[in-house]
A and B are shown apart, each in its own frame.
Chain A
Amino acid sequence: MWIPIQLNEQSAEPMYYQIEVQLRALIVSGQLAEGSLLPSIRELAQTLKCSVITIRRVYQDLENEGLLRTRQGTGTYVAKVGDEMRDVHRRSAVIEALEAAVDAGIRVKCSDQEMLDMLLDVLKRRRERVSSGAEGGE
């Protein structure tokens, strides 16, 4: 099974973290459905050119979060993600990004209203781009 994970080798973020964030997003967004069998640790390590130690750590972390479960001898599966948990995960990545944006605003002394206006402006532009992209393609 091919999993769309892309690593940035020059990133300051360690490999296990990059993989973990992307795999979590794939599960929480439902792109990897409940019950999907993940590649074996060795297989995913081969695909991503990293060591099994890194992949084992990722699987372990996500198992502890309840997103994966391992059945002895058969492999690692995507667990059932409850709606509540899905929502928590879905929101947490966005909240994290917004926090970073707000920090950037505070650094250059933006007022709350300014930041809200910017957010609405960005939203408007992005939504327009998505809908125009969906109709005719760019």
Chain B
Amino acid sequence: MLTAIEMKDIVQKRSHFELGPVNLVIPKGYVTAIIGPNGSGKSSLFRCILDLAKPDQGTVEVLGEKVGAHDNWQLKRRIGYVPEVTSTINDHLKAEQQAAFTRKWYPEWDINRHQELLRRFEIDASLKLRKMSKGMRRKFDLIIAMSHNPELLLLDEPSSGLDPIAWKTMIDVIHRYMDSGERTVLMASHIIDEVRRLADYIVFVVHGRVLGMYEKDTLLESWSVLYTDIGEGNVHWQSMPGYHSAEYTGGSAYKAVTSSAVEAEDWCRSQGVRIVSKQRLELDDILTALIEQERIRIQS
């Protein structure tokens, strides 16, 4: 598998926050989603990738080039970035003026592509940026980030403020952008449905640390809640494969959560535990479970 981004031992110490050490490899040709609670360091990772902030330690390599050694201006032409918070510095400009300005820095700017995106997102380019609604501005940011057909697209909570129709358009535009198989998206998102629809890989980030990177379908298939009936006797739940928790729910019933569904079901059968029903966990529940495990790990 080819690599789009490689972070090695990244540490960033700030008075109120510590990031790292982060080791992360983002594969080329896939959509990778970073999910984590507010303030977990997602945006800091983006800033390190773009050399907008310097890590105290470690190295970042993007599209085969080391970041931060020189000014990487050629590298940045190959990247599109939608920051979490839009800059207001050019708010007095019309959208078309902002586009004309940005275009100067990107020789690969594709005017037809730009027009097509304006049409798809229904943006009036003669409008001043200041006059745009939050959602409209978000759509325009995305258009600006994609008009030079970048090899790597970095999206920091791209859909915040989008209405459901614009949201669907965004999902579709990103899917089409990825269709060639050569391009890479790294996105941070809180929207579970967005991650489910777009991501191939999922990275969990909590308290400035990476808790793991998973292939999305495998992850969703492996976390399950089992509603069980243990009948007579006792069950040592901690020995269940992928044990996360087991909760007594009355009578002889237990609700058990596992991160290895298939093995756990086999184990239940071998223990004489009847599985009454089961349910897959949603991504946010998996995140919550991982945060709990991390807390227990830190405490012990």
Contact = CB atoms under 8 A, between A and B. Distances in A.
Contacts of B116: none
Nearest to B171: A46
Range for the number of chain B residues in contact with chain A: 20 to 34
B274 interface: no
Nearest to A52: B200
Contact of A15 (B178, B201, B217, B261): B217
Contacts of A50: 216-217
A40 interface: yes
A17 B229 CA distance: 29
B43 to A, nearest CB: 24
Nearest to B172: A46
Interface stretch (A6-14, A91-99, A127-135): A6-14
B181 A41 contact: yes
A51 B200 contact: yes
Given A12-B265, A40-B179, A43-B175, A52 B30 contact: yes
Contacts of B262: 12
Interface string A16-57: 100000000000000000000000111101100111111000
Chain A at the B interface: SS class: helix
Contacts of B218: 14
Nearest to B27: A53
10 contacts: A16-B217, A41-B181, A43-B175, A43-B179, A46-B197, A50-B217, A51-B201, A52-B200, A53-B215, A53-B217
Interface of A: 9-10, 12, 14-16, 40-43, 45-46, 49-54
The 9 residue pairs across chains A and B that have the minimum distance between CB atoms: A51-B200, A51-B216, A46-B175, A54-B217, A42-B179, A51-B217, A15-B217, A50-B217, A42-B178
Interface of B: 30, 171-172, 175, 178-179, 181, 196-197, 199-201, 215-218, 221, 261-262, 265, 278-280
